């Protein structure tokens, strides 16, 4: 399994160093950002880190504002965000979670606690990715499904059908193209009486009238 | 006997983060702290002279976090008081707290330098 990439965003270099060391021990790939704008720049790229550990108060954009912006991105695999916050700030924690953070950890971060919460995040992110893959496969399958639907213009006489490109197509061709159906041609009893039998009788009569051909002598 | 400026348990936790073939985490963290903390202290005094409470708060908050990460408990607590004072707009309390922070930082620095020299 490839290593998950985690963004560490904190304007305090000491905190960045400690969090990065914890993440590396947990075998995560680490990307660093030293302020809110830099963090946002990383998170809005087409292939952002799966998770982020973010300080609450940063110059530029703060943690909650970044969370709010993340929620506006149209993606089926949003970055899992853990906010770093001071111990005595429960109101801030509520604000953070309401702004869209997935979890929080109080500072200074403890190795076992941070890694445990990142494990939870890994489960969520893995599940999201699996779901997104499945949806994509289903959408592809759906676009390949052949269907007969709608109002079809059909010729009253020969039963040709006019398709989406305005071509008149034989009804067998149209139905074959739009379903899994194939045709084997034969006659219904009525048409046999009406068309086929007279033709066969006429052919037989023609053959009877013609003299037998002798092959020419060499 | 005075209490150590750095909490031994915190330093031990940092030591646990070491990985083979990687630079020593304790050395890295303490070095970064030494180079960053003085400018935070200066920023507190600078903001104070301009009576800029939000900037005092920002610098104190950052130094508080850094101190917490290396187990400098007394310095952390002092910065928390600075953070709270600045948040409440009580700038009169700041100068005394800032002096206290500087004194505590001096103790912290001495201890860090001893650790780095011993390694």
Dihedral of CA A189/A190/A195/A199: which sign? positive
Predicted confidence (pLDDT) at residue A87 exceeds the cutoff of 80: no
pTM exceeding 0.80 = no
% of chain B with per-residue pLDDT over 90: 90
pLDDT classification of A92: cutoffs 50, 70, 90:
confident
Structure-token match 């409470």, residue found: B53
Question: Looking at per-residue confidence, does A109 or A216 come out higher?
Answer: A109
User: Is A41 a residue whose pLDDT tops 90?
Assistant: yes
Taking the CA of residue B85 and the nearest CA in chain A, the distance in Å comes to 15
The reply to whether B109 touches chain A by the CB within 8 Å rule is no
Is it the case that residue A176 has pLDDT exceeding 90?
no
Res. A218: pLDDT tops 80: no
State yes or no: pLDDT of A149 exceeds 70: yes
| Contact: B70, A14; criterion CB under 8 Å | yes
Lowest mean pLDDT among A89-93, A101-105, B83-87: A89-93
Q: Which residues lie below 8 Å from residue A177, measured CB to CB, with a gap of 6+?
A: A146, A163, A169
CB contact under 8 A, B58 and A59: yes
Buried/exposed code over A171-199 (b: 16+ C-beta within 10 A; e: otherwise): eeebbeebeeeeeeeeeeeeeeeeeeeee
pLDDT band of residue A1 (cuts 50, 70, 90) is: very low
Interface membership of A114 toward B (CB under 8 Å):
no
CA distance B118 to chain A (A): 21
CB proximity list for A155: less than 8 A, separation 6 or greater: A161, A168
Place of tokens 């630079």: B23
């Amino acid at each position: 399994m490839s290593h998950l990439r985690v963004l560490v965003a904190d304007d305090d270099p000491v905190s960045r160093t400690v969090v990065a060391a914890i993440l590396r021990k947990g075998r995560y790939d680490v990307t660093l950002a030293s302020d809110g704008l830099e963090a946002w720049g990383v998170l809005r790229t087409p292939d952002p880190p799966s998770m982020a550990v973010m300080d609450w108060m940063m110059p530029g954009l703060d943690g909650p504002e970044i969370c709010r912006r993340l929620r506006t991105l149209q993606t089926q695999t949003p970055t899992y965000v853990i906010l770093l916050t001071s111990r005595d700030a429960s109101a801030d924690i509520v604000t953070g979670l309401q702004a869209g953070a997935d979890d929080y950890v109080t500072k200074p971060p403890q190795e076992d606690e941070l890694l445990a919460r990142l494990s939870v995040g890994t489960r969520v992110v893995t599940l999201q990715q699996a779901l997104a893959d499945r949806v994509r496969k289903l959408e592809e399958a759906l676009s390949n499904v052949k269907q007969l639907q709608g109002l079809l213009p059909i010729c009253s006489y020969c039963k040709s059908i006019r398709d989406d490109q305005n071509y008149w197509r034989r009804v067998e061709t149209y139905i074959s193209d739009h379903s899994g159906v194939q045709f084997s041609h034969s006659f219904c009893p009525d048409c046999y009486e009406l068309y086929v039998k007279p033709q066969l009788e006429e052919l037989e009569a023609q053959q009877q009238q013609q003299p037998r051909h002798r092959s020419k002598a060499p | 006997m005075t209490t150590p400026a750095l909490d031994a348990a915190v330093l031990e936790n940092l030591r646990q983060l070491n990985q083979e073939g990687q630079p020593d985490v304790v050395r890295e963290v303490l070095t970064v702290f030494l180079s960053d903390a003085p400018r935070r202290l200066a920023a507190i005094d600078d903001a104070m002279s301009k009576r800029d409470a939000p900037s005092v708060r920002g610098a104190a908050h950052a130094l508080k976090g850094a101190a917490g990460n290396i187990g400098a408990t007394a310095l952390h607590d002092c910065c928390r008081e600075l953070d709270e004072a600045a948040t409440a707009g009580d700038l009169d309390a700041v100068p005394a707290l800032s002096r206290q922070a500087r004194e505590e930082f001096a103790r912290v620095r001495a201890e860090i330098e001893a650790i780095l020299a011993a390694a």
